[in-house]
Amino acid sequence: MRVQSVAFFTILLLTGTLSSARAQRPCPEPAAREFDFWVGEWNVVNRYLINGQWQTRGAAEVDVFPVAGGCGIVELWDGTLGRFRVRGFSLRGWVPEKNAWVLVLNWPQPERADFSTLEGTFRHGRGDFFSGDTVNGKPTLTRYSFADITPDHFRWNDGTSLDSGQTWATRWIMEYSRRNPNARPVSNLPFADAPLEKACKAPGTERFDGALGRWRSADGTSNYRSLKILDGCAIMDFLEWTDADGNQQEVFLVRSWEHASSHWVQYARTSTISGMLRFEGDGPAGLVATDAPGSSISWQIADDGKSLVLTWEQPGAPPSPMNLLRRP
């Protein structure tokens, strides 16, 4: 498997807590390390319950790596489910305000690449993460579980409940085996710029294409990279910069065109803000934070495509632009 893309971006001062957070180690809570076992390269066997029997119905390769100073964990999944080729993505981070992990997933369907979220915790070495929905008019709970965790193996399984969690039906199990147990832990995988299969072609999905690639500030203190993933259905951004106090800051973003609402949805994880930030908007004119009122992000690319201005705004403060030049 070769992952298809990555990127860098800044939501710098979305709250007033940044200056006080600079002196702290990113995400110091012990719970924020509970998914560290997953970092690395994995082989996966997919098993399905078919006519009352568990059968192998596909395999996958999975790369998992930390982002935003270790405050986020990213999964890139590439494999088969039955006769279908599937690429999936997830971002997860510990949110102290919720006392829970927040999981953001994006597993594109034909011409669709919408986000979904789950929340949950680890207890006695097992992680359970839940979301609720209505299916065919019935309240439905979904549960994703991580269990039987050892350094080189673990098991993932899904669960569905139609009776408020009293009983659960499991139909899919993933058996994980570490592909290279001797490999060193990775951070921000060295993604290759690879040809893309254009799976998502709806109007609006190409509005960020001008920012794809590698960028840096003239003084070399800021680096940004933007790359497509999931066969072109989503974009990942990475931003690294050095602040005025000489501290390294990191931001990770992932965005996708939401077909149901015909606008962009973006999630962000930073090395200084504990939440999982969510933005919405219709393109380069700006994305607005839904959980940080008055905050927004926008970018402007020069006609020659060689310079990029990233701008963030927050209530009561003037716009704060970051000027970047395209790297060859």
- Model pLDDT for residues 72-108, shown as the tens digit of each residue: 999 999 998 888 888 899 999 999 999 999 999 999 8
Q: Which of 225-234, 240-249, 312-321 has the lowest mean pLDDT?
A: 312-321
The answer, yes or no, to whether residue 293 has pLDDT greater than 60, is: yes
Residue 282 lies in a domain: yes
Cα radius of gyration (the chain): 20
Domain count, the chain: 1
Residue 267 lies in a domain: yes
Counting every residue written for the chain, the total comes to 328
Burial of 284 (0-12, 13-18, 19+ CB in 10 A): middle
pTM to 2 decimals?
0.86
Q: Which residue segment(s) compose the domain that 322 sits in?
A: 209-326
- The string of pLDDT tens digits covering residues 137-151 is 888 999 999 999 999
Residue 263 lies in a domain: yes
pLDDT of residue 192: 45
Say which residues have a Cβ less than 8 Å from residue 218's Cβ, sequence separation at least 6.
323, 325
Residue 184 lies in a domain: no
Task: Give the separation between CA 62 and CA 197, rounded to whole angstroms.
Answer: 19
pLDDT of residue 11: 32
How sure is the predictor about 280, in pLDDT bands with cuts at 50, 70 and 90? very high
Residue 216 lies in a domain: yes
Q: What is the largest CA-CA distance in the chain?
A: 63
Residue 272 lies in a domain: yes
Residue 224 lies in a domain: yes
Let me know how many helices (H) and strands (E) the chain has, helices first. Answer: 1, 20
Residue 129 lies in a domain: no
How sure is the predictor about 262, in pLDDT bands with cuts at 50, 70 and 90? confident
pLDDT of residue 97: 93
